[in-house]
Amino acid sequence: MAENGRQVSLLPLVGPEGPAYGRAMSTVSVTHHPLFVDGRHVDTAERYDLRDPATGEVVGTLAKGTVADVDTAVEAARRSFAAGVWAGRTPAERSAVLSRIAGRLAAEVDDLARLEGSVNGATIRQATAFHAGFAAPHLQHFADLAASYAFERVIDTPPVPTLSTNRIIREPIGVCAAIVPWNFPLVLGIWKIGPALAAGNSVVVKVDERAPLTLLRLAEIAHEEGVPDGVLSVVAGPGPEVGARLASHPDVGKVGFTGSTVVGREIMRLGSGTVKHVTLELGGKGPAIVLDDADLDMAVEGILFGCMLFSGQMCESGTRLLVPAAGRDEIVGRLVERVRALRLGDPRDPATDVGPVISVAQRDRALHLIGRAVDAGATVAVGGGIPELPGFEGGSWIEPTIVTGVTNDMELAQVEVFGPVLAVLTYESEDEAVGIANDSDFGLAAGVWSRDLRRAGEIGRRLRAGTVWVNTWHGVDNNAPFGGYGQSGVGREIGPDALDAYTETKHLHVDLSRSAGEQIFALLQPGPGA
């Protein structure tokens, strides 16, 4: 996978003997983590326990914020924005600060990987490559955009002088909210904080109470590197109260959200009261179409990478496998063999391929959905149960699972499991494959496996998804937009135009026909944002 020209192994999911991914077997001591509001740590009356999903053990505690903490953070953001302490800096200055923060994230990548994995269960290999590894390059992308973005441009066509002069000016919205889930809090947080700060906004982040640590660390680093008080706050608390207050707060102008489609709908509704800008990145049920000419060695590895990475807890996971009916037995046979070889166990051990899922509730939901598919006539080809892992009995585990005989009308083909569960469907013709792939409420990511790149590309154009991969998966590139069709979301994150979603657009039109031309031109020198 190409990430800013740096090659990341296609399969950090599989293969233990690569470079040392972090130090193994480190333990996290039970530390209390306060919130970060208006430039300082803020503690609260109540606390959450932070648990390691691999063992169920408490590894820390977190301040449990309230609506009052959100209000304090939003007020600090509003005040800092009005004072111009960040928005008033030049884009080059903001870019320099963001670059320094990115440098700190790069230097701390091993610590950040351990920190994130300790509470969301990501294996150390995967956390180092993705959860923490993407943080610095992605923030650097936004630092670069701050420096290159057209905050102001003249749209007059020569010859000048004309009878009017016109500019398009992009201004920060003001206070932006970022509501982030537990699966990739640091990276998904940066996808919102990065463009917001690059454009000059102040930001209030609501982290998920299960995985707050890396974004709290980011807020500390940002403060140390010169982001002024109030410009970046991080709060935690119950989603339906604290998150909902942030999403509906009258002083918040924009909400960026990643999470479930159910809550995404609620965010839209909550934002409608004051007509907020909203971007939503929601669920998926990614179809992976294997064509009859696919290189099966490559496809089998890639299909498992696409579905089993982070135990399937990724919005863009490839969880619906579409195979030609005639090739099904061979493909499934090979997949089952590879799944049996995957190593489950201590996420801190670099040899581990697959870790736990986030919670017992999520495990049970996945088991329930597998059971419902079997009731509807599907077959479990491998997995489908709770693995026996000595020492990890208190954790939330589920075996990597392949279910065959799935049809697209089954619940398992239509709802997001968010677990290591691959549903296998068959098709007879390419048209049928495209039809099944597109028959979904979701449209986040899709993929095609084929030796014929022209054929794969043509199918890719017909798939209704925000990202289509050919012969790979999880190729998220900060130079390309990411987001979904249909109920997978609204708007796009990262990519070249990422700052558009964090700015208001102004057309400044100055009539010159009746004015003293010289005076007008003097007024029209480029502003600080030019």
Catalytic residue IDs: 192, 281, 315, 493
- Do residues 383 and 339 lie in contact, with contact meaning Cβ atoms separated by under 8 Å? yes
Tell me the one-letter amino acid at 237.
Answer: G
Nearer to ligand NAI, 323 or 370 (CB): 370
Asked if 183 touches ligand NAI (CB under 6 A), the answer is yes
Residue 79 CB, shortest distance to ligand NAI, in Å, is 23
Tokens 């990276």, residue located: 187
Count of residues that interact with ligand NAI, criterion CB under 6 A: 24
Residue 211 CB, shortest distance to ligand NAI, in Å, is 9
350's tokens: 């670099």
What does the per-residue mask of binding to ligand NAI show for 200-229, with x meaning CB under 6 A?
A: ------x-x---------------------
Beta strands of 216-291 (E only): which ranges? 232-236, 254-258, 277-281, 286-290
Contact pick of 81, 142, 418, 482 for ligand NAI (by CB under 6 A) = 418
Nearer to ligand NAI, 73 or 456 (CB): 73
209's tokens: 């109470």
Residue partners of 382: CB distance under 8 A and separation at least 6:
335, 336, 339, 340, 399, 400, 401, 402
Asked if 182 touches ligand NAI (CB under 6 A), the answer is yes
Nearer to ligand NAI, 299 or 354 (CB): 354
Residue list 298-327, contact with ligand NAI (CB under 6 A): 315
Categorise residue 467: left if φ over 0, alpha if ψ from -120 to 50, beta otherwise: beta
Asked if 383 touches ligand NAI (CB under 6 A), the answer is no
Tell me the one-letter amino acid at 202.
Answer: S
Q: Dihedral, CA atoms, 29, 100, 80, 151, nearest 10 degrees?
A: -140
Asked if 189 touches ligand NAI (CB under 6 A), the answer is no
488's tokens: 């997978």
Contact pick of 39, 174, 239, 356 for ligand NAI (by CB under 6 A) = 239
Residue 179 CB, shortest distance to ligand NAI, in Å, is 5
Asked if 259 touches ligand NAI (CB under 6 A), the answer is yes
Asked if 263 touches ligand NAI (CB under 6 A), the answer is yes
Asked if 281 touches ligand NAI (CB under 6 A), the answer is yes
Nearer to ligand NAI, 204 or 290 (CB): 204
Crossing angle for the helix pair 91-107 and 135-148, to the nearest 10 degrees: 170
Nearer to ligand NAI, 200 or 283 (CB): 283
- Do residues 175 and 204 lie in contact, with contact meaning Cβ atoms separated by under 8 Å? yes
Asked if 137 touches ligand NAI (CB under 6 A), the answer is no
Tell me the one-letter amino acid at 326.
Answer: A
Pick the closest to residue 289 from 325, 322, 330 (CA basis): 322
Q: For 505, phi and psi rounded to 5 degrees?
A: -110, 130
Categorise residue 152: left if φ over 0, alpha if ψ from -120 to 50, beta otherwise: beta
Residue 269 CB, shortest distance to ligand NAI, in Å, is 9
Residue 178 CB, shortest distance to ligand NAI, in Å, is 10
- Do residues 494 and 482 lie in contact, with contact meaning Cβ atoms separated by under 8 Å? yes
Nearer to ligand NAI, 270 or 378 (CB): 270
Nearer to ligand NAI, 133 or 345 (CB): 133
Secondary structure element (H or E) that encloses residue 208, with its range: none
Asked if 240 touches ligand NAI (CB under 6 A), the answer is yes
Other CB atoms within a 10 A radius of the CB of residue 262 amount to 9
Report the distance separating Cα 44 and Cα 47, nearest Å.
7
Listed ranges 25-33, 276-284, 302-310, 452-460: which one lies at the site for ligand NAI (CB under 6 A)? 276-284
Asked if 283 touches ligand NAI (CB under 6 A), the answer is yes
Asked if 258 touches ligand NAI (CB under 6 A), the answer is yes
Binding site for ligand NAI (CB under 6 A): 179-183, 206, 208, 239-240, 243-244, 247, 258-260, 263, 266-267, 281-283, 315, 416, 418
